[in-house]
Amino acid sequence: MDLCAEIASASFRSVKDFEIGLGPDGPALGKRNITVQGTNLVLEFNDTGFTAPFTCSDGIIAARFRDQVIQGRYDPATRRLTLAGVEYERVN
């Protein structure tokens, strides 16, 4: 099974909630999202989005965001992506 091909055009949502902004009663919680678009990962969280090139080999992912390289792994058994210590569940 080609794990990298399996996540092509996939979308993921964080398993846990993160602070995504301020609401009328203080911090608002929500999910982070990742979409795989060709050779790029698109991360959306808070009111911000980042697009970063990534490489994939046997389900191991490395992406460069600004000056930082973050790594992760896709697990086909759980359909979850862990990236920089954050776990995301596949939504498509």
Q: Which domain holds residue 57?
A: 3-90
pLDDT of residue 47: 73
CB burial of 17-53 (b: ≥16 within 10 Å; e: otherwise) equals: eeebeeeeeeeeeebbbbbbeeeebebbbeeeeeebe
**Which residue in this structure is represented by tokens 């080609």?**
2
| φ, ψ at 30 (rounded to 5°) | -170, 180
**Which residue in this structure is represented by tokens 């050779």?**
39
What does the pLDDT look like over 65-81, one tens digit per residue? 888 899 999 999 999 99
pLDDT of residue 33: 94
The count of domains in the chain is: 1
What does the pLDDT look like over 5-58, one tens digit per residue? 999 999 999 999 998 888 899 998 999 999 999 899 998 877 778 899 999 998
**Which residue in this structure is represented by tokens 């965001």?**
65
CATH of the domain at 81: 2.40.128
